[in-house]
Amino acid sequence: MRTILLIIVLAAAAVGAGWWVQHLTGAVSMTVGQTVIQMPLSVAVLALILLVALVYVLFRLAATVFSLPGAFRRGGERRQRRRGDAAVTNTLLALAAREPADARREAARATRLLGETPQTLLLRAYAGSISGDEAEAEAAFEKLAERRDAAFLGLRGLLRLAIEREDFPRAAVLAREAEAAHPGAAWLRGERMQLALRTGAWSEALQLSHDDTPKAGFGAAAADAEADPALAHKLAKQAWKRDPSLPPATIAYARRLREGGREKAAFDVLRRGWTAAPHPDIAEFALRTAPDKLTRQKLGAELVRGAPDHAESHLLLSRLALDAGQPDEARRHLDAARAAGLDQRRVHLLDADIAEAAEDEPGQRDALRHAAMAGPDPAWRCEACGTALGGWHPACPACHAVGRVRWGVPEAGFPAPVARIGAPAAPALDGRAELY
């Protein structure tokens, strides 16, 4: 309807203009040399309109002629773009169908037609990846990483390749660069946490940890790995305050105090740690600097003052009394440990040592026989996978479970233990204490 109205308006305007021109009065004359041209004004106006129209048509024709090369070029570019888009689509289809040869061919064709755009580089990388050509994939991801507009895509691809190669230090660096390129990616924070656990970057793991993660364990391990004494002291103190019942945190803080010349404060931390959770490693570290066996016995009695009736306390005092040449006192504490419910191989082996010191050969043989049938000694092991470890770790080296390494003996329903692996992650726990 609007078109019809527009035609009617234009027709009316044309008729009105024609009528106006026809009724113009007067004449127009023009002299060129000896020639005089004279015409009515209406004819002159009509001629002028025709001249303007002719000039306009000539200019448009000339513009069209001069624009033909550009038009042909743009047309070619549009056709090339359409073919490139089709190659991109074919590459995506080949990738979805897991057809490596087709994916690589179409990705190369898309690159040839469209150039090295972020899209074509990404497709080349994925095509090389599914075809097993890691070098091609890595080269494409590196080119992406060099672009400001697609750096995150390249870094993420390189990160995935590094993880597949188990090059965890390189992967950790790439993860930090990727987060800098695209801050706030939640999955990337999780990847950084896992890589920190794999590489032993405990300070970074502590920074990335949430409230439900064992920050005390990360802090203790970070303190033992930290070269700066002041920062190590701060980390160890924070770890111990977060969980005084964690023996590695107690030992880490006590070590920093001892290194600073504060032996009394270090022993107080160890005593409080023993009260919270008696552990052989705490005793070994506390008594390490004692000059003789009698001094060790006295320090041991002071160490267990906060938990004198605990089975571990009696077992420690029994070993120290035996070392000090007091078999009767050693026997008394050993019996108290048994009364507290302790029936493990180490108890019977200590019983055999006491019988040997008392020259009781039948008692020694009986103790050794019981040791062969007794339950296992406690050890550091992962509750998640059952792996027995050579020392405490913030995360299990076998299954990488966080905060699941515990001191104790396997219970019913506990995962079957696997081979003992690893050494202690922190110098504080550099082996099982030989106290008992």
- Over residues 44-71, the pLDDT tens digits come to 667 777 778 888 888 888 887 887 787 7
Nearest Cα neighbor of 426 from 254, 188, 224, 285 is: 224
pLDDT band for position 234 (50/70/90)?
A: very high
| Residues, the chain | 436
Asked whether the beta carbons of 219 and 236 are under 8 A apart, the reply is yes
Q: Is the dihedral of CA 314, 317, 322, 325 positive or negative?
A: negative
Q: Is the dihedral of CA 409, 414, 419, 425 positive or negative?
A: negative
Q: What is the dihedral of CA 407, 410, 414, 419, to 10 degrees?
A: 80
- The CA distances from residue 243 to 239, 247, 396, in Å, are 6, 9, 19
Q: Is the dihedral of CA 420, 423, 428, 433 positive or negative?
A: positive
Q: 273: helix, coil or strand?
A: helix
Residue 343 has φ and ψ, to the nearest 5°, of -140, 85
Q: What share of the chain in percent tops pLDDT 70?
A: 88
Asked whether the beta carbons of 432 and 402 are under 8 A apart, the reply is no
Task: Name residue 388's amino acid.
Answer: A
Q: 432: helix, coil or strand?
A: coil
* Bridge pairing between strands 387-389 and 35-40: unpaired
Average pLDDT over residues 351-359: 91
CA distance 339 to 352: 18
CA distance 304 to 373: 29
Angle between helices 118-130 and 100-114 (to 10 degrees): 160
pLDDT band for position 429 (50/70/90)?
A: very low
The pLDDT mean for the chain works out to 84
Nearest Cα neighbor of 351 from 339, 334, 332, 336 is: 334
CA distance 94 to 129: 13
pLDDT band for position 93 (50/70/90)?
A: very high
CA distance 139 to 141: 5
* Bridge pairing between strands 387-389 and 418-421: parallel
Residues 302-318 have pLDDT tens digits of 999 999 999 999 999 99
pLDDT band for position 436 (50/70/90)?
A: very low
User: Does the predicted model carry a pTM greater than 0.75?
Assistant: no
Asked whether the beta carbons of 208 and 193 are under 8 A apart, the reply is yes
CA distance 321 to 334: 10
Concatenated DSSP letters for 403-421? T-EEEE---TTPPPPEEEE
Q: Is the dihedral of CA 380, 343, 268, 246 positive or negative?
A: positive
Residues 103-131 have pLDDT tens digits of 999 999 999 888 889 999 999 999 998 88
pLDDT score of 17: 66
Average pLDDT over residues 134-143: 91
pLDDT score of 320: 95
Structure-token pair, residue 139: 């080269």
Asked whether the beta carbons of 395 and 196 are under 8 A apart, the reply is no
Structure-token pair, residue 188: 């990337």
pLDDT score of 411: 63
Determine how many CB atoms are found less than 10 A away from the CB of residue 102. Answer: 16
Nearest Cα neighbor of 405 from 426, 418, 422, 388 is: 388
Residues 321-333 have pLDDT tens digits of 999 999 999 999 9
Concatenated DSSP letters for 181-203? HSTT-HHHHHHHHHHHHHHT-HH
Name the strand (E) or helix (H) holding 49.
helix 41-96
Determine how many CB atoms are found less than 10 A away from the CB of residue 276. Answer: 17
* Bridge pairing between strands 379-382 and 405-408: antiparallel
Residue 26, pLDDT > 80, answer: no
Determine how many CB atoms are found less than 10 A away from the CB of residue 36. Answer: 9
Residues 251-294 have pLDDT tens digits of 999 999 999 999 999 999 999 999 999 999 999 999 998 999 99
CA distance 396 to 386: 10
